[in-house]
Amino acid sequence: MLDEARSREFGRQLVGIYSGAVLTNLIGVGHETGLFEAAAEGRATSVELAQRAQLEERYVREWLGAMTAGGVFNYDADTGVYELPPEHAPWLMGRTARNAAPMSQILNHFGTLLPRLIECFRSGGGVPYGMFRPQFTDRMDDVWRRIYDEHLVDGFIAPVAGLPERLHAGILVADIGCGTGHAANLLGRAFPSSNVVGYDIAPDAIAAATAEAEAMALSNARFEVLDVARLPTEPKIDLIMAFDAIHDQVDPAGVLGNVRRALADDGLFLMIDFKFSSNLEDNIDNPFAPLYYGISTMHCMTISLAEGGAGLGTIWGIQTARRMLADAGFSDVEVLDSPRPQNCIYVCRP
């Protein structure tokens, strides 16, 4: 017999799911139009906020209705004044790693490719990486740039025993799947005695990385367009880094094998990836799990399958990662917490 109370509860849950989808779009609007920055200047009516942001008041007023009903803004009905609480503002604006507003643009971009993804459900294959670009490159840069600024040296490098000292002394470093190269450039600036090379398959990302290195006057950072499945094994590299770059490879096992062969005997592979179990039942209570299973379906898994690849997916999990790293020849794998609760740091030694 149908449990009516349980059915109604799921109906309420579904309303919350759809409301979240709508708010995702509207957070993207706020991010693009500067509404959050304008609201952070202080309490305002819809007219005042529209004037600050130089936008049409009627649209701003309706947007504020959704933001208020969704718990993002406060509203004083007696004065018609809206407030972005100071506790909410860092999650929606600013240059810190806490700003999550750019994620809305990534998710909304994925939505534009849903018709192609639905065809993949019916016929197999995948959505090629090229169909996500250049928007995906730009938006991932927006997300990760502030994370690197805040956490790269102190959060990802410093916890690894002995690594800061080796970098200060001078070693050869490679960042595989480097995107626009901000991590490699920051590392080159922080450790001028080390030489850093960044590899990525996207020519426009490499062009941006090279331009930034030139703007930062770095003589120890360079970039090259390269499929990291063809990572050169000579000269040997002391440190190889991969930031969320392994799980969406066409041949992740092959890439890990090449990483192992490219490392010096005393080298180190630093892999930052998602902190999940490989077992669904272990992830059900993880608040990040629905988001990243969805991202995997809409991006990470499908771009690999589009090339006939493994389709490993975003939530390949610690157990699978450890097994694949061992198969690739890493005998010593330590898993550390990262500054971001959804990520962990794999410290891998031959």
**274-305 pLDDT tens trace:** 999 999 999 999 999 999 999 999 999 999 99
**HSE-up of 319 (CA within 13 Å, CB side)?**
6
The reply to whether the predicted model has a pTM over 0.85 is: yes
Residues 141 and 180 in one domain: yes
Quick: pLDDT tens for 237-279.
Answer: 999 999 999 999 999 999 999 999 999 999 999 999 999 999 9
Quick: pLDDT tens for 15-44.
Answer: 999 999 999 999 999 999 999 999 999 999
In a domain, 65, yes or no: yes
In a domain, 98, yes or no: no
Residues 117 and 86 in one domain: no
Of 102, 348, 344, the closest CA to residue 243 belongs to: 344
* 8 A C-beta contact, residue 142 and residue 134: no
Quick: pLDDT tens for 172-213.
Answer: 999 999 999 999 999 999 999 999 999 999 899 999 999 999
Dihedral class, residue 280 (left if φ above 0, else alpha if ψ from -120 to 50, else beta)? alpha
Quick: pLDDT tens for 323-349.
Answer: 999 999 999 999 999 999 999 999 999
Burial of 127 (0-12, 13-18, 19+ CB in 10 A): buried
Helix (H, G, I), strand (E, B) or coil at 49: helix
Q: Measured between alpha carbons, how far is 30 from 227 in angstroms, rounded to an integer? A: 36
Residues 197 and 154 in one domain: yes
Q: What is the pLDDT of residue 55?
A: 98
The arithmetic mean of pLDDT across residues 226-232, rounded, is 90
Which of 63, 93, 123 corresponds to the end of one domain? 93
What CATH number should be reported for the domain holding residue 297? 3.40.50.150
* 8 A C-beta contact, residue 232 and residue 262: yes
Enclosing domain of residue 334: 106-349
In a domain, 225, yes or no: yes
Residue 119 has pLDDT above 90, yes or no: yes
Q: Cα-flanking dihedrals φ and ψ of residue 197, to 5°?
A: -125, 135
Residues 344 and 215 in one domain: yes
In a domain, 236, yes or no: yes
Number of domains forming the structure of the chain: 2
> Cα–Cα distances in Å, from 206 out to 24, 202, 222, 224, 266?
30, 6, 9, 6, 29
218 contact partners, CB below 8 Å, separation of at least 6: 185, 188, 189
Residue 142 has pLDDT above 90, yes or no: no
In a domain, 312, yes or no: yes
Residues 56 and 130 in one domain: no
**Strands 343-349, 263-274: pairing kind:** antiparallel
What CATH number should be reported for the domain holding residue 47? 1.10.10.10
Residues 169 and 85 in one domain: no
Residue 140 has pLDDT above 90, yes or no: no
* 8 A C-beta contact, residue 250 and residue 310: yes
Residues 61 and 113 in one domain: no
Q: Which of 54-63, 139-148, 244-253 has the lowest mean pLDDT?
A: 139-148
**Angle, CA of 156, 157 and 161, to the nearest 5°:** 120
Q: How confident is the model at residue 98 (pLDDT cuts 50, 70, 90)?
A: very high
Tokens coding 16? 């919350």
Residues 289 and 189 in one domain: yes
Residues 88 and 145 in one domain: no
Residues 142 and 32 in one domain: no
* 8 A C-beta contact, residue 254 and residue 327: no
Q: Give Cα 214 to chain centroid, integer Å.
A: 25
Residues 215 and 339 in one domain: yes
